[in-house]
A and B are shown apart, each in its own frame.
Chain A
Amino acid sequence: MIPCTDFIPAYSELFKFLEERGGRRAVVDFWEYLSDNFLGNLRELAKEHGIRGCWLYWSHTLNEEAADFTMELDEDAGEFRILMHKCPSKGLLMGLSHVEPYHDYCGHCDVLYRRVLEPLGFECIADMSECDKARCSFRVRRRKN
């Protein structure tokens, strides 16, 4: 068995494997597949609870992932924001001396979540400019008509 604590390196190696087989397109195709087939819980929560669904989804995942983060929900403004002070996944990969992380490891987050939330009427703004320090932010806003 591959323990869930070793999943992140397995995930990163899968991106590398896919890129070797089919180039960047194969990696993005997989991210889209994963979004469609694995993130049903985020989709259902956002459908049922609106912007609060994001809060409910990430309250579960970020705590189980032992992330260092600040999460904000402003339902009146229709806004949700994650400030990732230290991403546990990227931090783990950066701490490995014997394995090189996939060069665009952080790219999956934007593709996965945007693909779920935008069709439900939300706008997603990701700032990955500090990914190399395991820091990022992800903002979700109710789209104004």
Chain B
Amino acid sequence: MTAYLVAAALVFLLLPFIVFHGRTLRRYLGIEVGIYVVADVLSRQIAGLDPFLACVALFVAKLVVFSVVLATSEEVRWSANRAALVALLLYALLIPANVRVPIDGDESFYLLMTESIVRDGDLDLANQYAYLERSATGRTDLVPQIGDRVGPRGEQYSHHEPLLSLLLVPGYAIGGLYGAVATIVLFAALLVRSTVRWLEDEGIDDRTARAVFPLFAFAPPVVFYAARIWPEVPGAFFFLETLRGARQRRIGKSVVALIALSALKLRFALLAVLLLVGSRRGLAAVVIAAFVIGGMIAGPLPADPRHYLTGLFGLVLDGAAGLLFQAPFYLLAIFALTRWRSMPEGFRAGMIASVLYIIYLVPRSEWHGGWSPPLRYIVFLTPVLALGAAAVWSRVWVPIIAAWSAGLVVHGVAYPWRLFHIANGENVAGEALSRIHEADFSRMFPSFIRLNDAAMAGAVVVVAIIVLAVATRRRPGLFDHIRAPLVIPIFALLLVAFFFFGRKPGRVVHFEDAHLVKNGGELYPHMYQVARFNYRGGWMLHGGNSVSFLARAGEARLHYAARQPVAINLAGRDFQLPPTGDLYGSAPVVIGRSGRIELKVTAGSVNLDRLE
């Protein structure tokens, strides 16, 4: 911890010398000292707070100050290389933070493949699974995943593409797990460099690029993937290089990057289709896209438009997996979409290139990324979205976005394991508030994973805003009013309304949610069930177990599954629940009064899904 603190302090001491000079440098160093003074005083007051959280909060606060000075000062030495160096130093600090706990999700399997290449010279993971205690993954619970191939002699192959594992080989050979993660950090720094260069190429002025840079590089989702063994950051780098090559008519560079992109993850090959056609040939692009989409819908994709709407709005609004709550900076790119014709050509080319990918992604049940940090599937698109955000930067006001992003970074770096969510319709903020107030705050966040009322309302609001933005795109004065002093007070009022209604009983009670006070029982299916989001989640209660929660008075239906008859007591009344076999069923119940009630199982076992 002390070594980490010293390293972080040194890095933050170096940063101003990389980009500032003159009076700005002196003033920043003064502020640096001031921050430490304040932090020292503050650290003596917060007994009981997690020291690592406090440490991360301090350095994120310093990063915020650094970013503000970078964006607003004149005496700045700015270039893509300097930006990359700043990013490299800061990302390096993420390595020990992330590997404090064993790596998770697909990371472990990519690393197993790297270990197999380094140690055995093959991709057969059978011996890796057999001797997991020798693995740098730190995971002894790994088993082959669904979709993994088994060879004729029992070879065990991962379903993941091997390119990322190959790229990790030099780093792993030098530094084991740290070296492998450092390889991704290098890619992340390259991504930052390319993005800054791209902003310059696309006509974004220096001042705006400096303002956008921290929100791209050090805000979610990039920062959460910058030091993790996922293909997303290398993918973003290769995608951007493909785009830049295409824009600069450097076909060789573009094709090499495109091949690497597709080999990294097959799904990225969809990006190639429209890139190859080129954004200038509009009709050809539309025809090819129509063919591919038609083929996809006829084949693997569902035809039901509701799936598409769920995924699309989910990526924008979902509390656990959408831009609004997990990476609000990129909402500006949605705003940029409404100004399509006036946007930089690179933005338009990037968005067009990603259309097929998005169409393929949104109807999937795993549109939210599954067991991974949020927004996994659109990390590759962030440079394009950042360009869109930069193009509208002068017309928006971002303190709330910046503050929320800083909070996300503090949380995600201090508690990296919390970035992995079971995708049950809740999110970390909702769960925390639910636990504190023992009321269902999760329902106040839009969820498209478990569709709720807030999601429907949010979708309507988004559509209204987009329509308004499109309708007023020729009147630049309208959105200039966003800077008015009333914006934050109104936001504060909405926050209070959110809190007020959040403490009231909800219309639906999901029994696995965090707001219930549980006395016994267990989560069903268990937390690490693969693709758990495809199951109807619930809470198993056995005889004598109970849960209490806020509920509304009146008639309701209890959704549950039970193999045997179950007797329950709900708010003082006894009910008999008939068996449902292997399926879910429901039974009518009556709740006598609004407020906190208890549901107790008096005989039998039942998997409770929801009460509505």
Do A and B pair up? The answer is no
**A interface, CB within 8 angstroms of B:** none
